[in-house]
């Protein structure tokens, strides 16, 4: 590497905006330090690595960091919404160079997963991966609110079934916690917190339907997980009813798509 790029969240938002990435431009203003570091490292590879030079030279920092943001935050490797900014297109009426840029982008991004800084999983908390940090609970807060504030700063690798049940039951940080919960439930669908066998699954089944409509993949994952559970004789009646309701609502959501 012949250079190193550092970027602020605000500057990164401006770059994304110029490439038509309005949603990501809003999102990066509140990303974690861990995510920002991964974007900078990957953008550095796209702009200045030997691989980049072999494909025709540096693509420029703004483009490199914008592509890296897509790869880190979305993990999709999709193309930029605008292949070139107005400034890059200034002085030419041809789209040929834009096509060349896209081909080079795709070739470089084949190596994106191994070029990112792996997140330090042992130190990741909800305060760092789902900012802003909450801080202490108010002195007069309820016991549940105080517990949720405490869990925001607890390493995610140390979350118990009960921790997940509480946070998911409060509809908090679902994008981060449901994937962890699904891993536990895959191993044991009736994983138990402090209430009854299957209470973590029950909390997951109570998640508001609007979340599943926005994120259909975990919706399908949960439906696959509970297939066949309803016929078990050892279920709590409340859990059985939640499973049956979820299956009906899941079918309705899939039809609407």
60 inside domain: yes
Range of the domain at 207: 159-256
pLDDT at 76: 81
58 inside domain: yes
Query: Do residues 110 and 163 share a domain?
Result: no
Query: Do residues 14 and 97 share a domain?
Result: yes
192 inside domain: yes
pLDDT at 198: 95
pLDDT at 113: 72
Query: Do residues 109 and 172 share a domain?
Result: no
Nearest-CA neighbor of 157 among 202, 201, 125? 125
pLDDT at 256: 63
Choosing from 115, 143, 177, the residue where a domain stops is 115
Query: Do residues 99 and 192 share a domain?
Result: no
224 inside domain: yes
For residues 256 and 179, what is the distance between their CA atoms, to the nearest angstrom?
24
For residues 117 and 124, what is the distance between their CA atoms, to the nearest angstrom?
14
b/e burial code for range 179-213 (CB count within 10 A of at least 16 → b): ebbbebbeeebbbebeeebbbbbbbbbebeeeebe
Query: Do residues 244 and 178 share a domain?
Result: yes
pLDDT at 189: 93
pLDDT at 3: 43
Choosing from 115, 130, 148, the residue where a domain stops is 115
Query: Do residues 163 and 232 share a domain?
Result: yes
77 inside domain: yes
144 inside domain: no
Query: Do residues 99 and 184 share a domain?
Result: no
The total domain count for the chain is 2
For residues 30 and 87, what is the distance between their CA atoms, to the nearest angstrom?
27
pLDDT at 93: 44
44 inside domain: yes
3-state secondary structure of 154: coil
Q: Running along the chain, 257 residues long, what does each successive block of 10 average in pLDDT? A: 66 94 93 84 83 77 91 87 69 56 82 68 80 90 97 94 98 90 92 95 94 82 86 87 92 74
122 inside domain: no
Query: Do residues 172 and 110 share a domain?
Result: no
């Amino acid at each position: 590497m012949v250079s190193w790029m550092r970027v602020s969240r605000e500057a990164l938002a401006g770059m994304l905006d110029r490439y038509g990435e309005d949603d990501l431009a809003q999102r990066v203003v509140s990303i974690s330090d861990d995510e920002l570091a991964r974007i900078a490292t990957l953008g550095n590879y796209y702009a200045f690595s030997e691989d980049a030079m072999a494909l025709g030279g540096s693509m420029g920092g703004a483009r490199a960091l914008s592509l890296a943001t897509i790869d880190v935050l979305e993990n999709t490797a999709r193309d930029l919404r605008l292949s070139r900014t107005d400034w890059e297109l200034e002085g030419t009426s041809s789209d040929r160079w834009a096509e060349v840029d896209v081909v080079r982008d795709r070739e470089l991004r084949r190596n994106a997963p191994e070029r990112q800084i792996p997140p330090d999983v042992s130190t990741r908390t909800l305060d760092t991966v789902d900012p802003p940090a909450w801080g202490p609970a108010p002195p007069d807060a309820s016991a549940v609110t105080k517990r949720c504030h405490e869990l925001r700063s607890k390493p995610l690798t140390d979350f118990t079934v009960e921790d997940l049940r509480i946070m998911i039951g409060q509809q908090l940080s679902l994008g981060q916690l449901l994937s962890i919960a699904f891993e536990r439930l895959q191993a044991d669908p009736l994983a138990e917190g402090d209430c009854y066998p299957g209470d973590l699954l029950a909390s997951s089944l109570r998640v508001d339907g609007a979340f599943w409509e926005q994120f259909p993949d975990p919706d399908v994952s949960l439906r696959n997980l509970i297939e066949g559970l309803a016929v078990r004789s050892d279920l709590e009646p409340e859990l059985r009813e939640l499973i049956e309701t979820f299956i009906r609502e899941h079918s309705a959501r899939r039809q609407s798509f």
